[in-house]
């Protein structure tokens, strides 16, 4: 059973990201403030939900939220500041877009950096404990999946409509065959040693 809030603070926001472990595409974060008494059947950590369920509850989350925002940070930013900093920045940027401004932030995971001195707590596996983090995880995942489906049209050989940029066997074989694209994270190990690219 997911809990309504961490602090009983009316303007508590939850935030989460998707796509940290991917070889291609952005890291995407969402932040959301939910109203009191918020409830959606089947809402849980997005990793526990099927794509069909995520897609069906996404519009309900958006409709019921007091405020929500989503941010994509591109591979060149990830390569420049590293994936941990990019994940945190995407969450921070999403929080800064919220109106009204949250008075407390709960973050999935164990690392974060302050946003305008708003108090916050990091919660390991927060997306399976608190409604707002679970809702943020669903938005981050669905918006990122849409993005990957869109860029799949441009480079269909990598199968991003299925693997969403994660390091699957098929994805790595396509990188070995066709080389990396502008959407690949060059700071990541795109291929195992035995398939090293000549760049």
Q: Rounded to whole angstroms, how far apart are CA atoms 41 and 18?
A: 22
Residue in 91, 86, 116, 88 with CA at minimum distance from that of residue 14: 91
Model confidence over 143-195: pLDDT tens digits?
A: 999 999 999 999 999 999 999 999 999 999 999 999 999 999 999 999 876 55
Residue 180's contacts (CB-CB under 8 Å, 6 or more residues apart) are 186, 190, 197
Q: Among positive and negative, which fits the CA dihedral 108, 91, 120, 111?
A: positive
Tokens of 37: 């008494």
Q: What is the residue extent of each domain of the chain?
A: 12-154
Q: What is the residue-averaged pLDDT of the chain? A: 93
pLDDT of residue 47: 81
Which neighbouring-strand residues pair with 12? 104
Whether the pLDDT of residue 67 is over 70: the answer is yes
12-154: CATH, from 3.40.50.10240, 3.30.420.10, 3.40.50.80, 3.20.20.140: 3.30.420.10
Taking phi over 0 as left and psi of -120 to 50 as alpha, with beta for the rest, 117 belongs to left
Residue 161's contacts (CB-CB under 8 Å, 6 or more residues apart) are 148, 149, 152
pLDDT of residue 198: 52
Containing 18, the helix (H) or strand (E) segment is strand 12-18
pLDDT of residue 137: 96
């Amino acid at each position: 059973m997911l809990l309504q809030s961490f602090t009983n603070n009316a303007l508590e926001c939850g935030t989460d990201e998707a796509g940290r472990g991917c070889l291609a595409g952005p890291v995407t974060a969402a932040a959301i403030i939910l109203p009191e008494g918020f409830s959606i059947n089947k809402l849980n950590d997005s990793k526990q939900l099927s794509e069909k369920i995520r897609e069906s509850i996404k519009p309900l989350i958006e409709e019921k939220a007091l405020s929500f925002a989503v941010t994509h940070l591109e591979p060149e930013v990830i390569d420049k500041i590293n994936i941990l900093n990019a994940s945190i920045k995407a969450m921070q940027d999403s929080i800064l877009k919220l109106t009204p401004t949250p008075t407390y932030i709960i973050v999935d995971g164990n690392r974060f950096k302050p946003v305008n001195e708003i108090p916050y707590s990091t919660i390991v596996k927060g997306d399976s404990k608190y409604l707002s983090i679970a809702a943020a995880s669903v938005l981050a995942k669905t918006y990122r999946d849409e993005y990957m489906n869109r860029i799949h049209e441009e480079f269909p050989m990598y199968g991003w409509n299925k693997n969403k940029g994660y390091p699957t066997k098929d994805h790595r074989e396509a990188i070995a065959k066709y080389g990396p694209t502008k959407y690949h994270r060059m700071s990541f190990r795109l291929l195992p040693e035995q398939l090293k690219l000549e760049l």
